[in-house]
Amino acid sequence: MTSKANIKYAGFVFGMILTLTMTTNSALAASTCDGGSACWQIGAEHTISGIVDINADVNTPPVPTSVTGTTLYWIGADTVQGTNKYLTQPELLAVPGDNKWRITLESVNYANGNDVNYYFSNMEYSSGKSMYMEDVVFPVGHVRAGQNFQDVEDLSVGFGASQYFNGVTYGNSFNKMYAELESYDFTGSHFSALNSHSISFTNYQSETTPGGTGTLQTLTATKWASSGTAPSCITSTAGSGTITISASGC
Amino acid sequence: MYTQKAKGENEKLKMNINNKQKIVIAAVLIMGGLATFMTMNVMSTQSAVAQVADHRPTPPEPFSIAVNGHNEPAIVTLKRGQTEQIDVLIGPKIAGIIGNVSVQSVRPICGTPEANVISKCIPSGITAFISENTVSATKHMVLTITADPNMPSGFYAYEVTADTTMNVPYQDTPIHVGNISAFGIQVT
């Protein structure tokens, strides 16, 4: 009896440890934070296939001037080439000192959470602006195959920043799309400027073929943190072609 | 017989104890190994988080670019059929780096292979060239832009880019990092 009890106990503990290990690894693999830092993302995502172009309109909310960690919002997508998986993300980066959102373009290698491309622009915006974001990879046989094109434009004046990234070889289609507010600051009260305001991604669409017609996408609202917990005062909802990230009581 | 039986029982008992000991030792070894593995995983995650605090590493900004004397986006007015030369002051912010310099429209030109995939494009009819393609020290370059007589009037987004590849202390692989200076061409 004692021997059987020992075996049962050992089996139970073994099972618990195995489950815990698998759960932890699964959660860590769900997304990425640059350089292994701890971050959270609130927004939406959707698994796709064969997509070459995603684009959306988005507004600029008040800048969270008291944030102490890097904060940005972006559309983006995953693309795989061989054993490499990249996240490409045209974005607006909070610059608390300037009280502005700055256009930056970025791609990250999932394998190590490190940047492979990072471009600063000279375009900064306060709240109340309408912007356009686009993220593209090119199909097999295209003259730009293996590259990634990112574009963020100011829809009121028309200035913009775009770039063809070719530092690494990207895939020929996207397989997961995102719209996220991302931060490395876990203190909810630091986002008080966003109270009663929202980041609204609208007209979020994708295209499967070059020159094809855009299709509005319905993403699934998500809240994720690599460790710790994302602020409970920020939430997201998603509908057809829309993702709204709202703050209340931060 | 009694002695032999007692000896047999004794041997059986020893074997039973040995089996129990083996099971317990094996279980302890498996659990110990897994616990060590888990501890190493958790510790490495925690130490990575602790090293970077609450900031994400961002590469240093490599270049400064001023188009027509403006660090912020500027608008250059150009009449159809005319050519303008614009000053571009460009230089590295980090000593020793060499950058590639280029000028391009933000959206692709309609009718090109790029425009078959990217959602928005601009009509052909503007040409833009910059006098030098690399920069290693702050210098003035000449941006020459021309609008064809048939170019539709309107606002067109352009950009000057300077980029390079550099190693940064917080990651193993080099990073492609650059600056984009937006400007607009108003064709009248």
Over residues B37-73, the pLDDT tens digits come to 443 333 333 323 323 335 678 899 999 999 999 999 9
**Beta strands at A234-239 and A242-247: parallel, antiparallel or unpaired:** antiparallel
Six-digit token pair at B28?
Answer: 């302890």
How many angstroms away from the CA of B3 is the closest CA of chain A? 28
ipTM of the complex: 0.87
For the cut 60, the answer to whether the pLDDT of residue B20 exceeds it is no
For the cut 50, the answer to whether the pLDDT of residue B80 exceeds it is yes
For the cut 50, the answer to whether the pLDDT of residue A91 exceeds it is yes
> What is the reported pLDDT for A106?
96
CB contacts of B106 in chain A (<8 Å) are 151, 153, 159-162
**Mean pLDDT across chain A:** 88
> What is the reported pLDDT for B171?
86
Among chain B residues, CA nearest to A6: B24
Give me the percent of chain A exceeding a pLDDT of 70. Answer: 86
The span from the CA of B75 to the CA of B157, in Å, is: 9
Nearest to B168 by CA among A183, A207, A115, A8: A115
A58 pLDDT band (50/70/90 cuts)? very high
The span from the CA of A237 to the CA of B20, in Å, is: 57
The shortest CB-CB distance from A119 to any of B31, B157, B163 is to B163
Among chain A residues, CA nearest to B180: A121
For the cut 90, the answer to whether the pLDDT of residue B151 exceeds it is yes
A35 or B97: whose pLDDT is higher?
Answer: B97
A209 pLDDT band (50/70/90 cuts)? confident
For the cut 50, the answer to whether the pLDDT of residue B6 exceeds it is no
B18 pLDDT band (50/70/90 cuts)? low
**A12 — contact with chain B (CB < 8 Å)?**
no
Give me the percent of chain A exceeding a pLDDT of 90. Answer: 77
The span from the CA of A103 to the CA of B94, in Å, is: 21
The pLDDT of B152-161, averaged and rounded, is: 98
A189 pLDDT band (50/70/90 cuts)? very high
Contact A153 B157 (CB under 8 A): yes
Six-digit token pair at B168?
Answer: 């940064």
The span from the CA of A9 to the CA of B56, in Å, is: 43
The span from the CA of A239 to the CA of A220, in Å, is: 8
Residues in B 127-146 with any Cβ partner in A closer than 8 A: none
| A41 burial level (CB within 10 Å; 0-12, 13-18, 19+) | buried
**A227 — contact with chain B (CB < 8 Å)?**
yes
Side chain identity at residue A179, one-letter code: A
**B180 — contact with chain A (CB < 8 Å)?**
yes
B164 pLDDT band (50/70/90 cuts)? very high
The span from the CA of A172 to the CA of A209, in Å, is: 11
B102-141 pLDDT, tens digit per residue, is: 999 999 999 999 999 999 999 999 999 999 999 999 999 9
A113 pLDDT band (50/70/90 cuts)? confident
CB B181 within 8 A of CB B87: no
Residues in A 140-159 with any Cβ partner in B closer than 8 A: 142-144, 149, 151, 153, 157-159
CB A106 within 8 A of CB B58: no
CATH number of the domain located at residue range(s) B63-187 in this protein: 2.60.40.10
The span from the CA of A53 to the CA of A209, in Å, is: 8
The span from the CA of A50 to the CA of A198, in Å, is: 31
> What is the reported pLDDT for B36?
43
Neighbours of A106 (CB within 10 A): 24
> What is the reported pLDDT for A183?
95
Least confident range from A139-153, B15-29, B108-122: namely B15-29
> What is the reported pLDDT for A6?
55
Domain ranges of chain B: 2-53, 63-187
A19 or A238: whose pLDDT is higher?
Answer: A238
A47 pLDDT band (50/70/90 cuts)? very high
The pLDDT of B12-25, averaged and rounded, is: 53
